[in-house]
Amino acid sequence: MAVNLSVFEDFIPVDGVKLGIAQSHVRYPDRDDMVLIELADGTRTAGVFTQNAFCAAPVRVARDHLSSVSPRYLIINTGNANAGTGPQGMEDALGSCQQVAEACGVSASEVLPFSTGVIGELLDMSAFERGIPVCQEQLSADHWGRAAAGIMTTDTLPKGVSRQVRIDGQSVTISGISKGAGMIQPNMATMLAFVALDARVDQAILDDWIRSLANASFNRITIDGDTSTNDACLLMATGKGGLVINDASSDAALTLFEELKDVFQTLAQAIVRDGEGATKFVTIEVEQAAEQQEALDVAYTVAHSPLVKTAMYASDANWGRILAAVGRAGVSNLDLDRIQIYLNDVHIVENGGRCTSYTEESGAAVFAQSEFTVRIVLGRGDVKEVLWTSDLSHEYVSINADYRS
**Residues 91-122 pLDDT 10s:** 999 999 999 999 999 999 999 999 998 889 99
CA 66 to each of CA 48, 109, 112, 116: distance values in angstroms, whole numbers, following the listed order: 10, 8, 7, 19
Tell me the sheet residues that pair with 386. Answer: 285
Tell me the C-alpha distance between 226 and 276, whole Å.
Answer: 13
Higher per-residue confidence, 118 vs 382: 382
Cβ–Cβ < 8 Å for 295, 286: yes
Residue 254: which residues within 8 A CB-CB, separation 6 or more?
Answer: none
Per-residue confidence at 182, pLDDT binned at 50, 70, 90?
A: low
CA 291 to chain centre: 25
Please tell me the predicted confidence (pLDDT) of residue 352: 86
Q: Average pLDDT over the chain, rounded to whole?
A: 93
Beta strands in 17-121 (DSSP E): 17-22, 34-39, 44-49, 73-80, 111-118
Query: Among candidates 59, 34, 33, which has minimal Cα distance to 231?
Result: 59
Tell me the C-alpha distance between 20 and 38, whole Å.
Answer: 8
Coil, strand or helix at 395: helix
Please tell me the predicted confidence (pLDDT) of residue 50: 84
Question: Does 369 score more than 80 pLDDT?
Answer: yes
Please tell me the predicted confidence (pLDDT) of residue 188: 53
Question: Does 287 score more than 90 pLDDT?
Answer: yes
Question: Does 190 score more than 80 pLDDT?
Answer: no
Question: Does 184 score more than 60 pLDDT?
Answer: no
Cβ–Cβ < 8 Å for 85, 122: yes
Read off the pTM.
0.93
How many other CB atoms are there within 10 angstroms of residue 380's CB atom? 19
Tell me the C-alpha distance between 368 and 140, whole Å.
Answer: 44
Angle formed by the axes of helices 292-304 and 306-313, nearest 10°: 60
Please tell me the predicted confidence (pLDDT) of residue 394: 85
**Helix or strand run (H / E) with residue 367:** helix 360-367
Cβ–Cβ < 8 Å for 46, 210: yes
Please tell me the predicted confidence (pLDDT) of residue 386: 97
Q: What are phi and psi of 132, to 5 degrees?
A: -60, -45
CATH homologous superfamily of 281-401 equals ArgJ beta chain, C-terminal domain (3.10.20.340)
Please tell me the predicted confidence (pLDDT) of residue 136: 98
Cβ–Cβ < 8 Å for 87, 54: no
Question: Does 228 score more than 70 pLDDT?
Answer: no
Tell me the sheet residues that pair with 165. Answer: 172
Please tell me the predicted confidence (pLDDT) of residue 226: 67
Statement: 17-273 belongs to CATH 3.60.70.12: yes
Coil, strand or helix at 74: strand
Residue 215, by phi and psi: left (phi above 0), alpha (psi -120 to 50) or beta?
alpha
Residue 275: which residues within 8 A CB-CB, separation 6 or more?
Answer: 3, 181, 182, 184, 223, 224, 390, 396
The residue-averaged pLDDT of 350-358 equals 93
CA 401 to each of CA 122, 324, 397, 398: distance values in angstroms, whole numbers, following the listed order: 21, 29, 6, 5
- Whether 190 sits among the annotated catalytic residues: the reply is yes
Least confident window among 184-193, 314-323, 341-350, 392-401: 184-193
Higher per-residue confidence, 184 vs 277: 277
The residue-averaged pLDDT of 196-216 equals 97
Helices (H), 328-405: 360-367, 394-401
Of the residues 43, 50, 153, 190, only one is catalytic, namely: 190
Give domain limits for the chain. Answer: 17-273, 281-401
Least confident window among 201-210, 227-236, 289-298, 396-405: 396-405
How many other CB atoms are there within 10 angstroms of residue 126's CB atom? 11
Angle formed by the axes of helices 86-104 and 57-66, nearest 10°: 50
CA 120 to each of CA 59, 91, 169, 179: distance values in angstroms, whole numbers, following the listed order: 15, 15, 51, 20
